[in-house]
Structure 1
């Protein structure tokens, strides 16, 4: 029984499970670094930051503040999740807008990691244990948000509005 064909199948299954778990943990780690670094780099107050799961209908669903609740592996081999940035006119203003950003992370076989936001082709390579490798992506994201305010006429109909970036329709 030790070297049976069935045991070989079980061993292959076990190896595949271990490989996937390592892949999942690596991607979770890089996503955690991305979240930690974006808050630090952009100086986002904790109460102005939120995490979202992107469901199968590409809708944002708020989740408890743990990234594991937001990450979803899709058929496109990307891990998808959303971040929410609540911006306001002034610190104590009731007028605010929730900016929802659909983020995507993927890992190559050779341990390369790439991040992008949905509906945009350009990927940014990021590296484990190199927080500065995220900065070009954050600068791009920052500029994209700024441009979305400059280019689009926004009707502020109420005190709370919403803006979606990288939202798949």
Structure 2
């Protein structure tokens, strides 16, 4: 083997290693989403994936393989959302509650960071019970966001509002 052929082999191995790493992370993201659907007792179709916010802070819905973008911090960044409905209108989601995530795999586990909430978790893909604190956080984030939203908004304790009201 020539030195040039050796370099090409090394490059090929590096490409394959990166593709395998990405594939493992993608499969984990899907496992996390399916587990969230099970935890929330809803169809997996109610879980959405988004590309990270752009310069205008807009997130675009995407297939998980297109939602994951690696950043300079060497983490995969993506958004995950849960469709929410106004009671009685199950055919038309009123909104998707989206949270921004950063994911990184070490030897056996995955590190998952909620970027806005500054919460981090270490998850074992072979132990679904390790995901429960993540699912609890997601549930509570959504619940707390809307339970007292109007009161918080009217007392200037929150600048967020329901988008359909402008």
Provide the TM-score with structure 1 as the length reference.
Answer: 0.77
Structure 1 residues 55 and 6, CA gap change in structure 2 (3 angstroms): farther
The structure, 1 or 2, with the larger RCO (C-alpha pairs under 8 Å, 6+ apart) is 1
Task: Classify the secondary structure of the residue corresponding to 2:119.
Answer: coil
Residues 67-116 of structure 1: per-residue CA shift (max 9 Å, x gap): 212221122111122122232341327793431211221112x2321112
Structure 1 residues 14 and 95, CA gap change in structure 2 (3 angstroms): closer
* Structure number having the greater helix percentage: 2
Task: Classify the secondary structure of the residue corresponding to 2:108.
Answer: coil
Q: Quote the RMSD (CA, aligned, Å).
A: 2.6
What residue number does 2:104 align with? 106
What residue number does 2:164 align with? 158
In the alignment, structure 1 residue 135 sits paired with structure 2 residue 141: no
Selected match of 1:29 from 2, 5, 27: 27
* Structure number having the greater strand percentage: 1
Number of residue-to-residue matches in the alignment? 155
- Check the 8 A contact 2:33/2:44 in 1, yes or no: no
